[in-house]
């Protein structure tokens, strides 16, 4: 099976951070954000990926290839003009047309029982199966289904069937769908492909699941999501790196290779120092992310913020 990571957006919700880096490669604990969904799908059996790119495509390729190495094959399509969720998939059709394939977004981290979703898709002979999660806070656009999981509508006003959950951005697709997407132009796959297909009775299903979902769309989401992953993956017994030998370290922390910490600095809890970030003597970092190349001068403190080489973004 092939996989596609949708990565051609402008990242407007992540501004001003996305003025400096495209959203798919903002750093999350030493690796590009988009790598988490690639890794999940690779572990689920996907072999061969394509990413659609628009802004700074060479930089994204460099960062993703540097992370993936020779283990995971990633190809790319470049969109001089953004083609949307439908047009982007259609534009990559030559790489996806040889069998069932999967798509996922580049600004989320999602984990769920993929094997169950694939079995559900195949048992129902679905043209498309969208992975849905429960949404008790009703934060996201709802998806409606009938009693068998067939999608009946999208959005708060659809109201036909059962309000099942929200669409995680992960979908399992058959290559026949590629011929149903409006060709050669930008399009939204929900409005311009699925909704017309649903009116014609096409087998478009929603697999309601549970698992792990984090949206990194805004600076606030990005900080909260990164700190949540840090708390899930860190151990209080982890030894600080040599660069922090004369600093005060309070876990959980993530200190990338190349980060520089001066004597007397206070790091943590909830501190993320990416490569080449520096913390001056007596400075303090907590509940914050320092991007590669960011510098916190001696004696200063940062808490609840993202520090880049160019700016500081405070999160309320």
Taking residues 46-65, report their average pLDDT: 96
Q: Give yes or no for a contact between 259 and 265, defined as CB atoms under 8 angstroms apart.
A: no
Q: CA 16 to CA 11: how far, in whole Å?
A: 9
Overall fold of domain 2-215:
Spore Coat Polysaccharide Biosynthesis Protein SpsA; Chain A (3.90.550)
Q: CA 228 to CA 221: how far, in whole Å?
A: 10
Q: CA 247 to CA 24: how far, in whole Å?
A: 32
Looking at the DSSP bridge assignments, the partners of residue 151 are 145
pLDDT band per the 50, 70, 90 thresholds, residue 91: very high
Other beta carbons within 10 Å of 21 = 22
pLDDT band per the 50, 70, 90 thresholds, residue 159: low
Give percent of the chain with pLDDT exceeding 90.
88
Over the stretch 118-137, which tens digit does the pLDDT of each residue have? 999 999 999 999 999 999 88
What is the reported pTM?
A: 0.93
Per-residue confidence (pLDDT) for residue 237, from 0 to 100: 41
Tell whether the model's pLDDT for residue 11 goes beyond 70: yes
pLDDT band per the 50, 70, 90 thresholds, residue 163: confident
Domain boundaries defined on the chain: 2-215, 219-314
Q: What is the mean pLDDT of the chain?
A: 94
Q: CA 40 to CA 114: how far, in whole Å?
A: 9
Instruction: Please name the residue that has the structure tokens 């981290």.
Output: 109
Overall fold of domain 219-314:
UDP N-Acetylglucosamine Acyltransferase; domain 1 (2.160.10)
């Amino acid at each position: 099976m092939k996989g596609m990571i949708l990565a051609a957006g402008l990242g407007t919700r992540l501004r001003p951070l996305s003025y400096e880096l495209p959203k798919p490669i903002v750093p999350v604990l030493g690796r590009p954000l988009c790598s988490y969904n690639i890794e999940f799908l690779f572990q689920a059996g996907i072999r061969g990926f394509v990413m659609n790119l628009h802004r700074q495509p060479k930089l994204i390729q460099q960062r993703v290839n540097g992370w993936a190495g020779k283990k995971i094959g990633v190809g790319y399509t470049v969109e001089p003009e953004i083609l949307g969720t439908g047009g982007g998939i259609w534009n990559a059709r030559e790489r996806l047309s040889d069998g069932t394939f999967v798509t996922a977004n580049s600004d989320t981290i999602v984990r769920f029982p993929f094997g169950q979703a694939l079995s559900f898709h195949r048992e129902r002979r679905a043209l498309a199966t969208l992975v849905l999660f429960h949404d008790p806070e009703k934060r996201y656009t709802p998806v409606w289904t009938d009693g068998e999981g067939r999608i009946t509508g999208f959005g708060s006003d659809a109201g036909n069937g059962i309000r099942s959950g929200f669409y995680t951005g992960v979908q399992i697709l058959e290559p026949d769908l590629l011929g149903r997407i409006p060709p050669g132009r930008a399009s939204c796959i929900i409005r311009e492909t699925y909704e017309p297909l649903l009116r014609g009775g096409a087998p478009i299903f929603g697999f309601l699941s549970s698992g792990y979902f984090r949206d990194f769309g805004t600076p606030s989401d990005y900080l909260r999501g990164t700190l949540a992953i840090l708390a899930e993956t860190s151990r209080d017994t982890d030894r600080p790196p040599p660069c922090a030998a004369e600093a005060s370290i309070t876990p959980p922390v993530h200190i990338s290779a190349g980060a520089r910490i001066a004597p007397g600095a206070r790091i943590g809890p909830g501190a993320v120092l990416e490569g080449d970030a520096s913390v001056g003597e007596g400075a303090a970092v907590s509940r914050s992310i320092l991007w590669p190349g960011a510098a916190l001068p001696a004696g200063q403190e940062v808490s609840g913020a993202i520090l880049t080489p160019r700016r500081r973004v405070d999160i309320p």
